[in-house]
Amino acid sequence: MAIRPVLRMGEPCLLKEAVSIEQFDTPELHALIQDMEDTMQHLNGAGIAAPQIGESVRVIIFGQKKLDGQINPRYPDADAVPYTVLINPVLTPIGAEVEEGWEGCLSVPGMRGVVPRHLRLHYTGFDQYGSPVDRLVSGFHARVVQHECDHLDGILYPMRITNLKKFGYSDVFFPNQDIQDD
């Protein structure tokens, strides 16, 4: 459908609580998800939330479709996260274990920061047809879901950083890597 402009940190739409989807399997919802997918793939993102393209609804997508065995050049070593549409998500951390890891965001281009996230997670929600989604995940998969769900509550990853010495420009922290924004 369309690659849409991604809002950057400072835009009010990124800072407010998004509203739940009440009707599934509608042309409007399918069009929104297609635009999110086109935009995420164009930018090689690991995920994207609807508020990032200016739609304040509780819809996120993340992960990769298997395209001829291609690997997302942004995360060549990451465990493969299956392509997922998740609507009205509910996250429940499992255990108290927290892991630190580097994150970037399409709405904070050119930067990276270390963010603590729950290591293990149970998440539920719905796909675009209204079918339930219910998963237990850990590690990178859990991190991506937490990052994207934060967007639905007006939270950007820099707000989660506990040590601002580990927040800065991608090409300063990773000078030898061709890191793109996500």
Nearest alpha-carbon partner for 167 in 151, 156, 177, 155: 156
Tokens read off for 166: 């580990």
- Whole-number Å distance between alpha carbons of 1 and 40: 13
- What is the smallest separation between the CB atom of 57 and Ni ion, expressed in angstroms? 16
User: Is 18 a residue that touches Ni ion (CB under 5 A)?
Assistant: no
User: Could you give the string, one character per residue 105-124, with x where binding to Ni ion holds by CB under 5 A and - elsewhere?
Assistant: x-------------------
How far is C-alpha 106 from the chain's CA centre?
9
Give the count of residues interacting with Ni ion (CB under 5 A). Answer: 1
Please identify the residue of the shown chain whose CB is closest to the bound Ni ion.
105
- What is the smallest separation between the CB atom of 120 and Ni ion, expressed in angstroms? 21
User: Could you give the string, one character per residue 53-92, with x where binding to Ni ion holds by CB under 5 A and - elsewhere?
Assistant: ----------------------------------------
19 CB contacts (<8 Å, ≥6 apart)? Answer: 56, 57, 58
- Whole-number Å distance between alpha carbons of 116 and 65: 27
Say whether 148 is catalytic: yes
* Choices 7-15, 56-64, 103-111, 166-174 (CB under 5 A): range interacting with Ni ion: 103-111
* Choices 14-22, 102-110, 117-125, 129-137 (CB under 5 A): range interacting with Ni ion: 102-110
Number of Cβ atoms within 10 Å of the Cβ of 31: 12
Q: Which of 17, 22, 28, 148 is catalytic?
A: 148
Tokens read off for 181: 């924004």
- Whole-number Å distance between alpha carbons of 13 and 22: 20
Residues designated as active site: 148
Q: Which stretches of the chain bind Ni ion, using CB under 5 A?
A: 105
